[in-house]
Amino acid sequence: MKWMVTGGAGFIGSTLVRRLLSKLDDSVINVDKITYASAPESLAGLEEEPRYIFSRQDICDRAAIDSLLAEHQPDAVFHLAAETHVDRSIDAPGGFVATNVVGTFTLLDSAAHYWRSMPPAARDRFRFVHVSTDEVFGPAQIGETFTLESPYRPSSPYAASKAAADHLARAWSTTFGLPLIVTHCSNNFGSFQHPEKLIPRTIVRCLEGKPIPIFGDGAQQRDWLYVDDHVAGIAAAADAGLIGSSYMFATGVTRSNNEVVHAVCGLLDELSPESRHRPHHDLISHVPDRPGHDFRYAIDPGGSQKELGWTPAVSFAAGLRDTVLWYLGNHPWWRKRLDNLG
């Protein structure tokens, strides 16, 4: 199979690229414009791999996307390119609308034209896998779990831009026949995640001895999914998912932000016994809550488990330990990201 991955230099995208290339008969065209959040180092060593092609392009550039599809003729597209940080979407929503909405439209329309031009057998094989988020469903009440029948109620500009992208994707499927699969995931974590996100931010703040900000009382709940498990689900959806279907990937267990941050602090107490900042939980500082902060997200992965045979392979505890160890061993990588933020 020849795959095109948009956003393949990002945190989740780069993990997917590495997984796809683990199959010796598969090849990947990675399309990424390289933003502050990209992690191209996660793809180090692939430059000489003949099955891997990188193209630095913006998905909003229709001519560039048309050209890439025509030249490389992929069998399927994984669409992961997106602006994702909720706090940034509150401060500057325009970029989220440009990439997540206009960029998705551009990619969908280009892919639909490309798909219609394919020979019948290739057209039957083609898949467009649109990767979304649990945040499009808005806040879940305690005890509530969203399913694929749940209505969309996005709260933040980020969630609204992803909801708009989902609706565009389904419209291109319904109206133009584009063979579409949609996936939704819970919060991801793992190595190479930008240190503006909660878990890596907590790790690097501990290492630097700086205050660890937690919004509000920290009781907000999220379901944390190890990134390798998420991309295993995306790949399974492309391989075995039904056209027109959607799949949810989550662990089914929610944890409060307080719980997660204290777990990170406890691991660093153990793994950095020489740290001058122990106990690291003393660095925690509660700050005013952000606008429109959803209290809880929870989605039901039962359909993915039943239809795709997917289940998370990595526990939260094991994944978190591996993640903390990775950041402990990769100081130059995260230091560079923090320096670039100014």
Positive or negative, the CA dihedral 68, 74, 77, 78 is: negative
Which among 134, 166, 223, 228 is annotated as catalytic?
Answer: 134
Sheet of strand 76-79: strand arrangement: 52-55, 27-31, 2-6, 76-79, 127-133, 180-185, 246-249
Contact criterion met (CB below 8 Å) for 275 and 206? yes
Tell me how far apart the alpha carbons of residues 26 and 113 are, in angstroms, rounded to a whole number.
24
With CA atoms as reference, report the closest residue to 98 among 77, 108, 83: 83
Whole-angstrom distance, CA of residue 299 vs CA of residue 66: 35
Asked about 327 being catalytic, the answer comes back as no
Neighbours of 249 (CB within 10 A): 29
Tokens of 129: 């896998």
Catalytic residue among 32, 58, 83, 135: 135
Rounded distance between C-alpha atoms, residue 307 and residue 220, angstroms:
31
Residue 95, CB-side half-sphere exposure with 13 Å CA sphere? 15
Amino acid at 124: D
- Specify whether 135 is catalytic: yes
Among 123, 120, 155, CA closest to 138? 155
Residue labelled with tokens 């703040």: 205
Burial class (CB in 10 A: 0-12, 13-18, 19+), 40: middle
Say which of 158, 226, 297, 327 is annotated catalytic: 158
Instruction: Strands of the chain (E only): list them.
Output: 2-6, 27-31, 52-55, 76-79, 127-133, 180-185, 187-189, 212-215, 221-226, 246-249, 254-256, 284-287
* Annotation marks residue 274 as catalytic: no
> Catalytic residue positions?
134-135, 158
